[in-house]
Structures are given as C-alpha cells and as structure tokens.
Amino acid sequence: MVRFDHVGISVPDLEAAITWYRETLNLAAGPVFAVPGTDLRGAMLLHASGWRVELLHRPGALPGLPTGSAPEAAGTLGYGHMCLRVDSPEEVDAEFRRLVAAGAGVRMRPQAAPRAGARMAFVADPYGNLIELIDRH
C-alpha cells in the first residue's frame, strides 16, 4: 500500500520556521538533523493526526518564483501548495483568521470552492509558501 507521508519545504531560517510551524499548525518537532556530506539541515514536524511537514535549510539557497495566488502557482511547474482539511465551512474562516493573526499572508480570502458545498481559502507562510484550507464535509 502506498500513502502520503509528508511535504518538504525549503526555508531560509530553519529555527524560525520550526517555531512558526509548531506554534501555528500545532506540530511537534523532531530533532534537527544534518545530511552527511552536505550543508543541508532539517527537521520533521508531526501533527497529532499523522501528517508531517519536513522543513529543510541549505545556506545560500535561492528563492523560487514568488506566487501571489494558487492559479499563479499552477503556472510554474513544481510545488504549488499544501492543503489542510478542516471539519466545516465555518472552520475555514476561523483557521484563516488564526493563521493571518499568526503572520501568514492573505492570498485568497475564504470563499466557495469549485466543489459544490465546500469552502476554501489560501494563506502564505512567512516565506511565501502557499497553504490551502478546505472543508470536505
């Protein structure tokens, strides 16, 4: 059986990113690791429900193309966004407000999703990585 394990995100400041993701998404951080023979360091963060975010830092890494929205991100091949599922349309709004209050950038305010009856929103972490919120009731 194959199933999704984690998403990896390259960040300019590993310790600051660990703090933001831990506090904002309620993730538990494992120890910082280093990849032998490289200057790459990282940490795996785990949510109680089992999903993970791997934060990676390499000195001198170049920023990717900035994206202001999900459609804009889809215009560039590669990573577009990660999506977090919530339990209700009202929770999309509540989580959106909470993430913005924690420093996330507004990319798409809560609105109806393309799937009938669903609600969605997009924010960006402090480094510009898109995070979608959606309910799938």
Cα–Cα distance measured from residue 129 to residue 81, given in angstroms and rounded to the nearest whole number = 7
Cα–Cα distance measured from residue 57 to residue 35, given in angstroms and rounded to the nearest whole number = 11
Weakest-pLDDT range from 23-27, 67-71, 124-128: 67-71
What confidence category does residue 15 fall into, taking pLDDT thresholds of 50, 70 and 90?
A: very high
Given the candidates 1.10.3470.10, 3.10.580.10, 3.10.180.10, 3.30.1700.10, the CATH classification of the domain at 6-57 is 3.10.180.10
Q: For residue 55, which of 64, 63, 46 has the smallest C-alpha distance?
A: 46
Q: For residue 103, which of 131, 81, 136 has the smallest C-alpha distance?
A: 131
What confidence category does residue 2 fall into, taking pLDDT thresholds of 50, 70 and 90?
A: low
70-135 matches 6-57 in CATH topology? yes
Residues 125-137: what's their mean pLDDT?
A: 89
Amino acid occupying residue 88: S
Q: For residue 26, which of 53, 55, 56 has the smallest C-alpha distance?
A: 53
Cα–Cα distance measured from residue 23 to residue 84, given in angstroms and rounded to the nearest whole number = 15
Given the candidates 3.40.50.620, 3.90.940.20, 3.10.180.10, 3.30.460.80, the CATH classification of the domain at 70-135 is 3.10.180.10
DSSP β-bridge partners for residue 121: 133
What pLDDT shows up at residue 74?
Answer: 82
Q: Where are the domains of the chain?
A: 6-57, 70-135
Q: Please, which residues have CB within 8 angstroms of residue 137's CB and are 6 or more apart in sequence? A: 87, 88, 89, 117, 118
Residues 109-136: what's their mean pLDDT?
A: 91
Of the chain, the percentage scoring pLDDT greater than 70 comes to: 98
pLDDT digits (tens, 9 = 90+) for 18-46: 999 999 999 999 999 999 999 999 999 99
